[in-house]
Structure 1
Amino acid sequence: MDFVSLEEKIFNYSLQTPNKTALIDKKRTISYKELYQNIWATKLFLEKEYTLQKGDAVIVAANKNLNFIYAYFAIHLIGAKVIPLDEQIQKERLAYIVDKTEPKLIIGLQSEDHITSFDFDLLKDIEPIEVPNQIEFPINVGEADILFTTGTTGDPKGVVLTHGNLAASANNINTFIQNDSDDIELLALPISHSFGLGRIKCVLSVGGTIVLLGSIVNMKRMFRTFEEQKISGFGMVPASWHYIQKMSGDRLKDFAGNLNYIEFGSAYMSAEEKQELINLFPNTRICMHYGLTEASRSTFMEFHEDVSYLNTIGKASPNVEISIKDDSGNTLPSGEEGEICIKGNHVTLGYFTNSNTEFFYGDYFRTGDIGSIDDNGYIHLKGRYKEIINVGGKKLSPIEVESKIQEFDSSLESACVGIIDPNGILGEVVKAFIVKSSTIENFDALDEFLKSKLESYKIPAFYQWVDQIPKTKSGKIQRQKLL
């Protein structure tokens, strides 16, 4: 299949369906023609006023507004690289990334490194400009984005994604979710990470409509938007679903008739929760992905279709190959546990300024996750290599213990880690951190329950109350902060 960049696809919609709504931000509606005119005007502004050119890097605060979207695609059209960052990024992390990437320009953030910067307000007064009939689009191998990982297991790494990676990823996701030009998606996810940013690219690349929502905190506004805009698609992390349930019960099911799809990702969800969603949304495609910044949405499952495999992470996404390999890079047979490795056009070529050979077995990217593939192609995720707990030579995933804690009491939030055995016998033992709860006063009943459900080496040797579990903004547990 010939390569077509996301920018060219959106440009084609600006010609074919110029009056179709592309973006809705608060009360403002932007057509595909207006979208591209604003992208083009922003491109010319950055070239003229800041001499931005091919090969430059630009840090952009991933602010969920129209000007971010214009700037994002404008920088791509110039041939420069976008480094999208959380608008509330810590100073130390920003300084680290500035030092690593040496950006030409920073938009929406203030750096102490004397890099030229300005706020999004400067872009608000740019007048849309007619777009020429013939323009130069990004090439397949051109570097498009540098996305910094959230650092759940160490220092953040800059993941380099080409225009080919972005186009392939969007195509794979759209093929599975079945996105089309009739979709009207409510975007409440943060866009400083690949999940939320990917939703913008997926919907615009099929000519659909994105409705921008600051967050789900204002539930009245969210539900009003569902009703007014006839929302047909929604993406969220499991933590968002928990919040929606806590604040409004099952009210989201009132919109089940309009919702064609919901996409979940970024964190663990129990089989019981998945079954509950099946019951609430009987006719909605409820899709959940597994993937990394380096290889976005590499597996998918659809809860209704895969109801017998809810404890898995589904099968390889369209156009993606998954292989389970041993420590030498050899492919393991069905059912055997090893490292989950991913091959496809969506997979990064490597990390910014890093030597990348250790992260690949040939064409397969090494995820650092342990799992297996069964005879039906479903992938069973055990956990991350760095998180696996080794108790006297017997290995276990903390996820297995956490799922049983939630089985005991679904309101309990927990995280388990391996700590050094104080008796010096087993090497490591399990320690469970549990968020303070009004439902249990001590750990006695929970401990008895776990002893009836798990092998002895998996039972936590220690329990501790905490005020909260440290997590990334996308909901991933940062276990190293508990050690």
Structure 2
Amino acid sequence: MGCLFNFDNYKNNIALITNDREVTYKELDQLSYEVGMLLDNKSLVLLVCTNTIDSIISYIGIIKSGAKCLLVANTDIESLLEKYKPQYVFSPIEKNINAKVIKEFGSYIACKTNFDVDYEINNELAILLTTSGSTGSPKFVRLSYNNIVSNTTSISEYLKIKSSDRAITTMPMNYTYGLSIINTHLANGASLILTDESLMSKIFWSLIKEKKATNFGGVPYTYEMLKKLRFERVNLPDLKYITQAGGKLNKKLVLDFYEVCSKKNIKFYVMYGQTEATSRMSYLPLESLPEKAGSIGIAIPDGKFLIKDDKGCEIEDIDVRGELVYIGNNVSYGYSQSYHDLKEGDKNYGCLHTGDLATKDADDYFYIVGRKNRFIKVYGNRVNLDEFEHIITSYGYECVCTGEDDKLNIFLTDNTIEKLFLFNKLMKDTGLNKSAFNLVYIDSIPRSDSGKIIYYKLDSGE
């Protein structure tokens, strides 16, 4: 990991930027070294993440020391402390941690915990990240140093990240996509504009203009908000490219942003990834739009996709759905549920069964068509809930669908949509009997900090 965060060639470059402070790579190197001196390479450190200078300093210091970093959101961490029993906790000063403070730096403190447990940690383990799922599970993905270096190198290659780039943060640091933007920019001597402000904040748009951001990333929900904010009217002369991952962006929005970005001379990258693959697995080459809109594109450099049937055999024919399987050095070692699992080695051996259903076209471009576990049976008919959601959103309605056999729940945010009208339209377009439909009006779709839908918070009312 030292080769990833070797800042010798970028000492005078600006690494971190906030509204009122700038930190050079030379300063970042020194400050993170001081943090790392507190640790040994056998320890586990729980890092409470924020998009701040001191959080980044902590992360770099932990990684460069050889210690293992468990990245979590700035929420209740008591259950995680019990499950993982870290030797250290790094957190914002205001967080109430029941541990001995051994260093205070800026807005953060480093604490030594009282856990008297001796457990083995795999030497190759670098970080632990929450899974990309939104179920609230404490399950973490075990990522090695090689996983991070491999994915960072591949992403840097296809995005052509340069030291002159400036990315503004739009996602939590402990979210795999947000962390990958941090890793790729720091690995290339580029700059990070740090903020926890949302796109709905005037402060965010002031920062992106004043600090001359050249790029940002976003999940599908980010792009839905940008559409509502009329992104096409926003004047951002320094913006060079934007990226999208963290879920499938519907084809209409892909085409809308392709058109807007083309007019503004901004590059628009559609990508696909999972925490289990460190971050990204594919990207849609710029020249393939608009023709390939709706596709996740091709595998990243040094990666490979296969589509397999239910028997595990490769599907080579075009337009035949099966499970998408990814092969690459960025595939994680597996999962952990507690400190007992940290001694485990690589259980995936560079091969990830994504759980996504996909097809490929004649040019070997791949298309996600649903999730293996997002199927129900409705009166004998197999229904893909993702495809059903897509049908309703194509009508112009914001919706989420859940269900069980013979019951399909439709959650709408617009209570002016008449139930019988919608059901009759769905019957006509899908052939399903409307008696299986259950309509629920909700104020808003529950989402995680990274914009993913939290399905378990939806109440069908029955």
Report TM bin, short chain: 0.7 to 0.9
Counterpart residue identity of residue 207, structure 2? T
Matched, 1:401 2:388: yes
* 1:107 equivalenced with 2:90 (yes/no): yes
Q: Is the 8 A contact 2:132 2:275 kept in 1?
A: no
The residue aligned with 1:307 is 290
**Cα–Cα, structure 1 residues 309 and 244, in superposed 2: closer, same or farther, change >3 Å?**
closer
Q: Contact conserved, 1:54 with 1:80, CA < 8 A, in 2?
A: yes
Asked whether 1:341 is paired with 2:334, we answer no
Aligned to 1:434: 412
Question: For the residues of structure 2 that align with 1:392 and 1:357, how far apart are their CA atoms?
Answer: 45
Looking at structure 1, the residues matched to 100 and 50 of structure 2 have their Cα atoms a distance apart, in angstroms, of 15
- The 5 A counterparts of 1:18-417 are 18-44=11-37, 46=38, 52-87=39-74, 89=75, 91=76, 94-108=77-91, 116=99, 118=101, 122-124=104-106, 142-149=124-131, 151-152=133-134, 155-217=137-199, 219-246=201-228, 248-250=229-231, 253-255=234-236, 257-282=237-262, 283-295=265-277, 296-302=279-285, 305-334=288-317, 335-352=319-336, 353=340, 360=348, 363-409=350-396, 412-417=397-402
TM-score (norm 2): 0.86
1: CA distance between counterparts of 2:313 and 2:78?
40
Over the aligned positions, Cα root-mean-square deviation in angstroms equals 3.0
User: What per-residue deviation string (whole Å, max 9, x for no partner) do you get for residues 407-446 of structure 1?
Assistant: 212xx3211122232xxxxxxx422111244xx3422333
Stretches of structure 1 that go unaligned for 5 or more consecutive residues are: 47-51, 127-139, 422-428
Q: 1:252: Cα distance to partner?
A: 5.8
**Alignment match, 1:447:** 423
- Letter paired with 2:163: S
Quick check: 2:333–2:347 contact (8 Å CA) kept in 1? no
Letter in 2 for 1:10: F
With 194-203 and 294-303 compared, the bigger mean Cα shift is at 294-303
Runs of 4+ in 1 over 4 A off after TM superposition: 109-115, 353-360, 457-460
- Contact 1:430/1:459 (CA < 8 Å) preserved in 2? no
Distance in structure 1 (CA, Å) of the matches to 2:329 and 2:433: 41
Shift of 1:217: 4.7
Q: Is the 8 A contact 1:83 1:146 kept in 2?
A: yes
Amino acid at match of 1:20: N
1:266–1:160: structure 2 CA closer, same or farther, 3 Å change rule? same
Q: Aligned equivalents of 2:436 and 2:212: distance in 1? A: 47
Deviation at 1:62, TM superposition (A): 0.7
Change (3 A) 1:169 1:458: farther
Q: Which runs of no fewer than 5 residues in structure 2 stay unpaired? A: 109-121
Assess, with a 3 A threshold, how the Cα gap between structure 1 residues 114 and 259 changes in structure 2: closer, same or farther: closer
- Tell me, yes or no, if the aligned pair for 1:408 and 1:449 is still in contact at 8 Å: no
Helix, strand or coil for the counterpart of 2:172?
Answer: coil
After superposition, the Cα gap between the structure-2 partners of 1:336 and 1:63, relative to the gap in structure 1 and judged at 3 Å, is same
Identify if the C-alpha distance between structure 1 residues 112 and 71 changes in structure 2 by more than 3 Å, giving closer, same or farther.
closer
Alignment partners' CA distance in 2, 1:458 and 1:229: 53
Mean alpha-carbon deviation: is it higher for 72-81 or for 454-463? 454-463
Deviation string 1:367-415 (CA, Å, 9 cap, x unpaired) is 2222222332122212222222233454332221212212212xx3211
C-alpha spacing 1:117/1:66, structure 2 compared with 1 (3 Å) = farther
Amino acid paired to 1:28 = R
CA-CA distance at 1:449 after TM superposition: 3.2
1:177-222 CA-to-partner distances (Å, cap 9, x unmatched) read: 2211111111122112111111111111111111112222553222
Percent sequence identity is: 25
- Paired residue secondary structure (1:122): strand
- Change over 3 Å in CA distance of 1:38–1:114 after alignment to 2: closer
Partner of 1:133: none
Q: Which deviates the most, 391-400 or 462-471? A: 391-400
Q: How many residue pairs align between the two structures?
A: 438
Q: Which letter does structure 1 place at the counterpart of 2:409?
A: K
Secondary structure of the structure 2 residue equivalent to 1:469: coil
Tell me how far 1:254 sits from its aligned partner: 1.7
